[in-house]
Amino acid sequence: MTMWKMATRLRMTNTPGPQESLFTKEYLHVRQDVHFERGMQCADCHTSIDVHGDGNIYPATVYQTEITCYDCHGTPEKYPWELPVGYGTPVTLDGDRGVYTGGAREYLLTSRGNAKANWVREDNKAYIVSLYTGKKHETPLLKDINLHNAFKTKQGKVAMSTIDRHIEKLECYACHASWAPQCYGCHMQYDRRVKGTDWITTSKKVDSTTGRQTVTKEDGDLSLENRSFMRWESPILGINLRGKVSPLAPGCQVFYTFVDEEGNVKALNKHYITSTGHNSPTLAPMHPHSISLVARTCEDCHTNSKTIGYGTSNSRSAEKLLGDSPMFQDLSKGVYGDIPDAKTGRWETPRIEDFPHALDQLVVRSGKQIQNMPFPEDRSLNQEERNLVEREGLCIGCHQYYGTPEWDKIIEKYGRAETAEQHEKMVSEAIKSLREKCK
């Protein structure tokens, strides 16, 4: 029993018991989105166009989504109403978007320039009025925070204001989505000996009076579905259809097994090659809806090889020893047995010989993207971007001089950096010294 199932039952009945499934799945509570924690619901942010479309047919609903974080929070340099229509999207218009005035009230606009009835401006402050409770939520405006130097942390100020390219190049949720659901490896077994619902035929057998469908069964159904492993922390980053850095999640990494009418395995743990030449297991940009005031640390992006797309622990130093091979879980090798030399050993994880990678690898060190992404605009970070982001191993830049006369002189003058704050001060002094040399 998961912690979430136990907590839910205890809260509702004071008796432990199983969680009710939703769409055949059960869920583990990690951390709520900050908007939800404050009492907001989906419709407080999302518009009817987001949900029901704008009259056009798109490959996915993400194309019709018109809201962005900037619509309510602005940027450190501009209020939401000072931003142009389309800000944060590939198409941006000239001039400020302003607000919509209806009667005595002013309403904020979405990135498409549409007014949202529960987003209001009053005296240069922004509010979201809950459509469910009527509660008025004041929206933190980044420009006010920047003007009054009211950032909660030094890291926040540097990330959002000092290094303004973060606002330009990244989705806000690339950092502020504290986690993302990551279900790695989707293993499906389709068995022709099992009867299953033919959803196409069933969808056409509709009672004109009740609207109910008549389920039609045909030969063949999924007899097995499982996954390799699950994670929630440190999602991979890539580029989404808006050209911005975004969290990625498996969606989906399918390996299929086919069993015929006689019980013969005709295909075992197979995948496809896509029209773009990539392996069909897919990593997809997403908004995890797990926003937290506490953002991901600088190190979680800049020193984490998984975040950059190389896979867990596939560091710069690992490349010299392993090349493009993953540090963990090379699927082409499989896993035989769970106890070394056990006579009853068997294949715990069968080999997938044409996939010599780990499931959390999007790109290998030589630069090749080895998994699929859903849309033409989606991609991994390119070589230039990966080089710009990755700062793993830079400790060596200073610590290679440990124990040398130069090192001892620095310790003698400035003391030993025994805390994070002292270490930060020491690095700052080094930057100041370099600056003096530039004069």
pLDDT in tens, the chain (439 residues): 343 443 444 445 566 677 788 877 778 889 999 999 999 999 999 999 999 999 999 999 999 999 999 999 999 999 999 999 999 999 999 999 999 999 999 999 999 999 999 999 999 999 999 999 999 999 999 999 999 999 999 999 999 999 999 999 999 999 999 999 999 999 999 999 999 999 999 999 999 999 999 999 999 999 888 889 999 999 999 999 999 999 999 999 999 999 999 999 999 999 999 999 999 999 999 999 999 999 999 999 999 999 999 999 999 999 999 999 999 989 999 888 777 777 777 888 889 999 999 999 999 999 999 999 999 999 999 999 999 999 998 899 999 999 999 999 999 988 999 999 999 999 998 899 898 888 7
Same domain, 28 and 170: yes
| Domain contains 144 | yes
Residue 388: inside a domain: no
CA-to-CA distance for 251 and 48, rounded, in angstroms? Answer: 25
* Same domain? 93 vs 167: yes
Residue 363, domain member (yes or no): no
Domain's final residue, options 259, 285, 311: 285
382 within a domain of the structure (yes/no): no
DSSP secondary structure letters along 220-242 = EEEEEEEEEEEE-SS--EEE-TT
Structural domain of 404 = 396-437
Identify whether residues 88 and 33 lie together within a single domain. yes
User: Measured in Å, how far apart are the chain's first and last C-alpha atoms?
Assistant: 65
pTM: 0.89
Read out DSSP for 278-292? -BS-BEEE---S-B-
Core vs surface per residue 406-437: b (16+ CB within 10 A) or e = eeeebeeeeeebeeeeeeeebeeeeeeeeeee
3-state secondary structure of 146: helix
Domain finish residue from 175, 207, 223: 175
Same-domain pairing of 193 and 88 = no
* Whether residue 197 sits in one domain with residue 150: no
CA distance 283 to 271: 14
Claim to verify: residue 146 and residue 272 sit in the same structural domain: no
211 shares a domain with 74: no
Is residue 383 a part of any domain in this protein?
no
* Same domain (yes/no): 116, 148: yes
Residues 66 and 148 in one domain: yes
Name the residue type at position 92.
T
Residues 160 and 208 placed together within one structural domain of the fold: no
Q: Which of 232, 261, 285 is the last residue of a domain?
A: 285
Hunting for tokens 């502020």 — which residue is that? Answer: 176
Q: In what order do the strands lie in the sheet with 115-122?
A: 100-102, 105-109, 115-122, 125-129, 136-139
How many domains does the chain fold into?
A: 3
- For residue 51, being part of any structural domain is answered with yes
Asked whether residue 159 falls in the same domain as residue 191, the answer is no
Specify if 338 maps to a domain.
no
Q: In terms of domains, do 43 and 102 share one?
A: yes
Q: Is residue 331 part of a domain?
A: no
